C-alpha cells in the first residue's frame, strides 16, 4: 500500500525526473517483494498525486483514487489543463472512494490526507521539506505518518501507541520557489517509538517480508466459490493455516522424538563394557543422535512452520470477526484497530494485512442485507460456540489428561525399576545376606567352592563374571529413574509447548462467552449491535492471548 502526498505546484520541466525517481522506488519494491502486489493510494490532486498515478499506470500498478469529495464537485478545483489530466486518469484507476464529506471544504482535504496516511504501508512524499501553509498539506501528512494517527475516530484499545510507518521523501522543487539544495534525492525516514530507537527500518522490512511470505503461501490456495471477497480471503487464510498447523505439529513431534532418543542414548549407552560395543562406539552413537536432533531442529526453524501457522491463524480469526461485523452492519469498525495493539514490531504486519484486506475487499461499502440476523453473522456465533464447547475445549482437556498420566507412568515405572535394582545392589555386597559373592565368583568359572560354602543356587543366572554384576548394578539402579524422568520431562515440555492447560481453560471461557451472547441475541436482551461488537472484541482478545502465549514458547533445541 503506497500512499502519495505532495505539492500541487510542480515545475513542468522537473516532472520527468520526479517520475523517474518515483518509478525507481516502485521497481525496487517489486523486485524485493515479488509475491506482494503494489497498490498506490492517491488523492488525484494536481501535481504530485496525478504524476504518481500516471507513472503507476505505465508500470501496470493499480491506483486507488481517494477523493476528498464527489468527482463533479472535485473537478471545480482544477484548472482546464489540470482537469484534462484528471479526467484521463480517473477511468484508469482500479477503484475510487470518496473520503471527505460531500460538501467539500478544507476538512475534506484533511480527511483525505489522514486516510492515505492511515492505510499506507509506505508513504511517498513529493516534498521540499518546508513547513506547510495550511491544514492537510504535505508537511502535515508527513508529520502525521511519522508521529502516529490521532486517537479520535479510531476504536483502539491502546490509542497512545498507534501504528506509524516509514516515509520516503523525494526532495521536490516548487514552481516560483527557491530550489532545495538536494533536489530529487530520496530520503528514507523510518518510525521511532522513542528518541534513540534504531529498529524502525528492520521492523518495516521484517513486516513486508512476512507479508510477502503470506502472499506466497496464500497463492497456493484456490479461490473459493464465494462472491464475498472478505469471506473468500478468510477461507483461504484458514486453509493455509490448517496446512501449516499439520506440518508444525509433525515437525514438533519429530523434534521431541529425536531429542528423546538422543537423551536416552546419553543415559542408556555406556562408553564401554555393558553392551559389548566396540571401543568408542558408545560415544559415536551419542554424538550421532545429538547431531540428528540438531539437524531436525534446524530444519524446523528454517521452515518456520510454527510461527507461520500461528500468524496465519491470527489473520484468519481477525478476518472472521471482521466479516461478522460487516454482515451485521458494523462496516466502520475495523478489527486491526482493536487487535494486537501492544505488538508494535514483529506482529505489526498482521494488523497491516487486516487493514489492507478491509480496504481492498470492498468491506467498507454498506449492503442492503446487513443485519444482526444475517446468516453469516449467525453462523459465526453458532460455529464458534460449538468449536469452543464441543471440539477444542474437550480436545485440549483430553490431551492434558493423557500427558499428565504419561508423566506419572514413566516417572513411576522408572523410579520403581531403579528401586528394585538398588535393593538388589544393596543385598549383593560382599557381606550380603542372600548372595555371597566369593562363592558365586568361583562357581561361574567351574572351580570347586571352598569347603564350608553352600553350592550355587539353582535360580542364579550364569553371568560371565560376577564382578560385572557387581559393577553394573549401580548403573541399573540409576538408569531407569533417569530415563523415566527424562521422558516425563519431555512430555511435560511438550505439553507446555502446546499449552494444553491454558487452552482448555481459555476455550471453556470462550464457550461461555459465545453461548451467553447467543442466548442474549435470541431473547433480544439488550442492544444486539452492542452485544455483537463486544463479542468480537472478546474473540480478538482471546486469540491475541493465544498467539502471544505460543510465541513466547518457541521451539528451542536446548529446551528439548
Residue-by-residue DSSP string for 124-148: EEEE-SPPPSSTTSHHHHHHHHHH-
Q: Is 305 exposed, middle or buried (0-12, 13-18, 19+ CB in 10 A)?
A: buried
Closest of 501, 499, 547, 512 to residue 389, by C-alpha? 512
Q: How far apart are CA 135 and CA 138, in angstroms?
A: 9
Other Cβ atoms within 10 Å of 304 Cβ, number:
17
pTM of the shown model: 0.82
Cα 122–chain centre separation: 21
Closest of 129, 89, 545 to residue 339, by C-alpha? 545
Domain 2-191 has CATH 3.40.640.10: no
Half-sphere exposure of 70 (CA within 13 A, CB side): 4
pLDDT digits (tens, 9 = 90+) for 95-149: 999 987 655 566 788 888 888 988 999 999 999 988 877 667 888 888 888 877 5
Question: What is residue 25's predicted lDDT score, i.e. its pLDDT?
Answer: 96
Q: Is 544 exposed, middle or buried (0-12, 13-18, 19+ CB in 10 A)?
A: buried
Question: What is residue 164's predicted lDDT score, i.e. its pLDDT?
Answer: 78
Pairing between strand 40-42 and 95-98? Answer: unpaired
Closest of 67, 204, 63, 98 to residue 146, by C-alpha? 204
Question: What is residue 228's predicted lDDT score, i.e. its pLDDT?
Answer: 86
Q: Is 520 exposed, middle or buried (0-12, 13-18, 19+ CB in 10 A)?
A: middle
Question: What is residue 220's predicted lDDT score, i.e. its pLDDT?
Answer: 93
Delimit the domains of the chain by residue range.
2-191, 372-525
Cβ-Cβ contacts under 8 Å for 405 (sequence gap 6 or more): none
Question: What is residue 18's predicted lDDT score, i.e. its pLDDT?
Answer: 96
Q: Which portions of the chain are predicted below pLDDT 70?
A: 101-106, 134-135, 149-162, 193-195, 270-282, 342-345, 428-473, 557-560
Question: Nearest 5 degrees, angle CA 306-CA 165-CA 364?
Answer: 80
- Distance in angstroms between the alpha carbons of the first and the last residue of the chain: 41
Nine-digit cell string for 29 = 519494491
Report whether 370 contacts 192 (CB < 8 A): no
Q: Which residues pair with 171 in a beta bridge?
A: 127
Question: Nearest 5 degrees, angle CA 180-CA 142-CA 104?
Answer: 110
Nine-digit cell string for 439 = 562363592
Cβ-Cβ contacts under 8 Å for 83 (sequence gap 6 or more): 75
Question: What is residue 13's predicted lDDT score, i.e. its pLDDT?
Answer: 93
Q: How far apart are CA 87 and CA 85, in angstroms?
A: 6
Question: What is residue 4's predicted lDDT score, i.e. its pLDDT?
Answer: 96
Q: How far apart are CA 99 and CA 42, in angstroms?
A: 11
Question: What is residue 288's predicted lDDT score, i.e. its pLDDT?
Answer: 84
Question: What is residue 20's predicted lDDT score, i.e. its pLDDT?
Answer: 95
Other Cβ atoms within 10 Å of 270 Cβ, number:
14
Report whether 113 contacts 140 (CB < 8 A): yes
Amino acid at each position: 500500500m503506497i500512499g502519495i502526498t505532495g505539492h500541487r505546484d510542480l515545475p513542468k520541466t522537473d516532472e520527468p525526473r520526479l517520475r523517474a525517481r518515483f518509478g525507481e522506488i516502485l521497481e525496487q519494491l517489486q523486485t524485493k517483494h515479488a509475491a506482494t502486489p503494489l497498490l498506490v493510494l492517491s488523492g488525484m490532486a494536481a501535481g504530485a498525486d496525478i504524476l504518481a498515478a500516471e507513472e503507476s499506470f505505465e508500470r501496470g500498478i493499480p491506483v486507488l483514487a481517494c477523493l476528498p469529495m464527489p468527482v463533479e464537485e472535485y473537478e471545480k478545483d482544477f484548472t482546464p489543463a489540470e482537469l484534462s489530466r484528471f479526467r484521463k486518469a480517473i477511468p484508469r484507476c482500479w477503484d475510487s472512494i470518496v473520503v471527505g464529506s460531500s460538501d467539500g471544504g478544507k476538512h475534506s482535504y484533511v480527511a483525505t490526507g489522514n486516510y492515505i496516511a492511515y492505510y499506507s504501508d509506505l508513504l511517498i512524499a513529493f516534498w521540499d521539506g518546508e513547513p506547510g501553509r495550511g491544514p492537510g498539506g504535505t508537511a502535515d501528512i508527513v508529520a502525521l505518518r511519522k508521529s502516529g494517527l490521532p486517537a479520535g475516530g479510531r476504536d483502539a484499545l491502546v490509542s497512545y501507541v498507534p501504528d506509524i510507518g516509514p516515509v520516503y521523501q523525494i526532495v521536490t522543487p516548487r514552481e516560483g520557489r527557491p530550489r532545495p539544495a538536494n533536489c530529487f534525492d530520496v530520503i528514507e525516514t523510518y518510525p521511532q517509538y522513542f528518541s534513540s530507537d534504531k529498529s524502525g527500518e528492520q521492523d518495516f522490512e521484517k513486516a513486508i517480508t512476512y507479508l510477502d511470505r503470506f502472499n506466497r503461501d496464500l497463492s497456493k490456495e484456490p479461490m473459493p466459490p464465494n462472491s464475498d471477497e472478505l469471506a473468500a480471503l478468510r477461507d483461504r487464510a484458514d486453509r493455509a493455516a490448517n496446512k501449516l498447523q499439520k506440518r508444525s505439529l509433525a515437525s514438533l513431534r519429530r523434534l521431541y522424538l529425536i531429542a528423546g532418543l538422543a537423551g536416552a542414548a546419553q543415559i542408556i549407552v555406556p562408553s564401554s563394557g555393558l553392551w559389548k560395543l566396540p571401543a568408542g562406539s558408545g560415544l559415536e552413537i551419542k554424538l550421532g543422535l545429538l547431531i540428528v536432533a540438531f539437524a531436525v531442529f534446524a530444519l524446523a526453524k528454517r521452515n518456520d512452520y510454527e510461527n507461520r501457522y500461528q500468524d496465519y491463524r491470527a489473520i484468519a480469526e481477525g478476518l472472521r470477526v471482521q466479516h461478522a461485523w460487516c454482515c451485521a452492519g458494523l462496516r466502520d469498525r475495523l478489527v486491526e484497530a482493536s487487535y494486537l495493539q501492544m505488538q508494535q514490531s514483529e506482529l505489526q504486519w498482521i494488523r497491516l494485512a487486516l487493514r489492507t484486506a478491509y480496504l481492498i475487499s470492498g468491506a467498507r461499502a454498506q449492503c442492503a442485507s446487513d443485519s444482526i440476523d444475517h446468516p453469516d453473522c449467525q453462523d459465526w456465533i453458532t460455529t464458534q460456540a460449538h468449536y469452543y464447547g464441543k471440539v477444542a475445549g474437550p480436545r485440549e482437556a483430553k490431551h492434558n489428561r493423557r500427558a499428565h498420566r504419561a508423566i506419572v507412568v514413566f516417572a513411576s515405572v522408572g523410579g520403581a525399576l531403579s528401586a528394585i535394582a538398588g535393593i538388589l545392589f544393596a543385598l549383593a555386597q560382599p557381606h550380603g545376606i542372600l548372595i555371597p559373592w566369593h562363592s558365586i565368583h568361583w562357581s561361574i568359572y567351574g572351580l570347586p567352592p571352598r569347603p564350608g560354602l553352600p553350592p550355587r543356587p539353582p535360580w542364579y543366572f550364569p553371568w560371565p563374571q560376577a564382578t560385572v554384576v557387581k559393577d553394573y548394578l549401580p548403573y541399573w539402579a540409576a538408569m531407569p529413574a533417569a530415563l523415566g524422568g527424562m521422558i516425563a520431562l519431555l512430555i511435560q515440555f511438550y505439553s507446555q509447548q502446546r499449552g494444553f492447560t491454558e487452552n482448555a481453560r481459555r476455550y471453556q471461557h470462550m464457550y461461555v462467552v459465545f453461548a451467553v451472547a447467543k442466548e442474549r441475541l435470541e431473547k433480544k436482551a439488550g442492544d444486539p449491535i452492542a452485544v455483537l461488537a463486544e463479542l468480537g472484541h472478546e474473540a480478538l482478545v482471546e486469540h491475541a492471548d493465544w498467539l502471544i502465549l505460543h510465541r513466547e514458547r518457541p521451539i528451542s533445541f536446548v529446551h528439548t
